[in-house]
Amino acid sequence: MALCPGNCSFCAFGKNHTHFQNNRISENEFITKVTDFCKEGDLYGLYLMAMHEYDLDFYLKIIRQQKKW
């Protein structure tokens, strides 16, 4: 998560009004979280969203890793 330069007034991540601080979970933590969401087998969809500006290569890499599980 990061302060977003998109700065939409309705969004908690807008850089001019957010109280969040930049943070990124580890790849292992990400895999654990997604696995926990999916472990009951009844999840219809899992939507992953990213900030206005995001490292697309990292995003695609971690999604590919998760799809292997």
Contact residues: ligand SF4, CB under 6 A: 4, 6-8, 11, 13-14, 51-52
Q: What minimum distance in Å lies between the beta carbon of 18 and ligand SF4?
A: 8
CA 67, CA 69: separation in Å to the nearest integer?
Answer: 5
Name the nearest CA neighbour of 63 among 54, 9, 52, 41: 54
Q: What minimum distance in Å lies between the beta carbon of 38 and ligand SF4?
A: 24
Q: Given the complex with ligand SF4, which of 17 and 33 has the nearer CB atom? A: 17
CB 25 within 8 A of CB 18: no
Q: What minimum distance in Å lies between the beta carbon of 42 and ligand SF4?
A: 29
Nearest position to ligand SF4, beta carbon: 6
